[in-house]
Amino acid sequence: MVVKIRGKGQKRKIALKFTIDCTHPAEDSILDVANFEKYLKEHVKVEGKTNNLGNHVVIARDKTKVAINA
């Protein structure tokens, strides 16, 4: 998402952060968090292309939580 500043013509990038808490599905053995992180890295699209994260999107895992920074 890009926000235009009035009168200046410059664009400012808004940093987005999403956190997915997988505690309960991981405890019930429904979901493996490592495989879910791998799935997200392979299927998240940047500029219409999968596997194109580059420096734009960072996906990190911390035990039972997955954080996505864009």
| β-pair type (65-69, 58-62) | antiparallel
Look at residue 15 and tell me whether its pLDDT is greater than 80: yes
Q: On the CB side of 51, how many CA atoms lie within 13 Å of its CA?
A: 1
Q: What is the pLDDT of residue 38?
A: 93
How does pLDDT run across 19-54, given as a tens digit for each residue?
Answer: 999 999 999 999 999 999 999 999 988 888 888 888
Q: What is the pLDDT of residue 12?
A: 78
How many CB atoms are closer than 10 A to CB 27?
10
3-state secondary structure of 24: helix
For residue 56, what pLDDT band results from cuts at 50, 70 and 90? Answer: confident
CATH assignment, 13-69? 3.30.1360.210
Q: Delimit the domains of the chain by residue range.
A: 13-69
CB contact at 8 A, 66 and 32: no
